[in-house]
Copies of this chain bind each other. A is one copy, B any other.
Amino acid sequence: MPDVRDEVVVSYPEWVYDVVRFGDRYTSDEDRMRLAIELARQNVLRNTGGPFGAAIFERATGALLSVGVNSVVRLNNSTLHAEMVAIMTAERRLGSFTLAGAPAVEYELVSSCDPCAMCLGAVLWSGVRRLVSGADRDDATALNFEEGPVFPQSYDYLQARGVAIRRGVLRQDAAGVLDLYRRRGGPIYNA
């Protein structure tokens, strides 16, 4: 019979509901990125995880569908990077295994940092049509957060399959949260 030890529950830290209003509209890339960065910053300040935040928006309207914060340490789960949490909860909200299910509505994922290899793959499978990132992989590796096997052709691969990509949006602000985490001595859990 089922063993409760095999049930994995992924949920937001409670502060998310104080900081985020789902359905609010974020019209520009910069507005959307400011939310992703604020999620990363709050995750550091409230000691709920690594310095990474992400959010998924309706591409045209900017309506906020879901968010994610790094939850590796909080939930004892190495797969729960911010992007993964945002994708899982977006699909949970839609009740669908793909965000490309309603072709009239396109979704995009905005991440406070370039995605790692796992998350870049997950972006492809999620059905989002655009990826926007803030801090550069070099900003993360300077903190000893590794990105894994991501190569220039990894981005080419996604673009060839219809995922538009824009990197470096508010990069300095996004990298500032990485620096905040370093100064506070947060754990580097995948070193």
- A contacts, CB < 8 Å to B: 1-3, 5-12, 14, 17, 22, 66, 72-73, 75-79, 84, 87-89, 91-93, 95-98, 116-122, 124-127, 146, 148-151, 153-154, 157-158, 189-190
Contact = CB atoms under 8 A, between A and B. Distances in A.
Contact of A97 (B12, B72, B87): B72
A23 to B, nearest CB: 12
Contact of A124 (B14, B92, B148): B148
In the complex, the count of this chain's copies comes to: 2
Contacts of A117: 117-118, 120-121, 124, 154
Contacts of A158: 149
7 contacts: A8-B89, A10-B10, A78-B127, A79-B126, A118-B120, A120-B121, A124-B146
